[in-house]
Amino acid sequence: MNYIDEALSKSNSGEEFVQALGDIYEHAEVREQLPNYPKWIRNIITVIDYDTELAMDGLDFKSYRDVIDALRDIGIFEEADTLAMLEGDSSQENGDLCYSKLSINNNYEKFWDKVFQYADEKMKCQEI
């Protein structure tokens, strides 16, 4: 049983599972196995990576396509739409505008509550 399987089996809620996945950086070997996991687990890890990168390095002028797709799957459309603004305009002005609209600067708790809820829903579906 690897780190993700163990986190899934020991978690009683979506919040517990997402928080356990936050330790993924201590288990780099599991990244090679990510394609074997359901998309919803990969989406959560993508969002964890996005949040970590944003907190450490700020907003970068690069494609956030994978993050945008994961956010939309989770239902965090405002954040996805904000990141999508960068796809066509990498000016400093647009970057500053986008950064000011991100959840990390506004509704950070609401952002993570949606991720927890998404994990809850997916975990319940998996039990059936």
Model confidence pLDDT, tens digit, residues 89-125: 888 898 888 989 998 888 899 999 999 999 999 999 8
Q: How many domains does the chain have?
A: 1
- pLDDT of 127 reads 55
Asked whether residue 77 is domain-assigned, the answer is yes
Residue pair 61/87 in contact by the 8 Å Cβ criterion: no
Which of 82, 71, 62 has its CA nearest to residue 114? 71
Tens of pLDDT, residues 2-61? 889 999 999 999 999 999 999 999 988 889 999 999 999 999 999 999 999 998 988 888
Q: Can you give the residue range of the structural domain that contains 66? A: 3-118
- Residue at 128 is within a domain: no
For 46, 79, 81, 103, the CA distances from 108, given in Å and listed in that order, are: 16, 11, 16, 5
pLDDT at 28: 86
Report if residue 95 sits inside a domain: yes
- Residue at 125 is within a domain: no
**What's the CA gap between 125 and 88, in Å, rounded?**
37
Instruction: Name which of 41, 40, 19, 16 is nearest 30 in CA terms.
Output: 41
H-helix or E-strand spanning residue 109: helix 108-127
Residue 91: inside a domain, yes or no? yes
Asked whether residue 124 is assigned to any structural domain, the reply reads: no
Does the residue 123 lie in any domain? no
Give the CA diameter of the chain: 48
Kindly state whether residue 126 falls inside one of the protein's structural domains: no
Predicted structure pTM score = 0.92
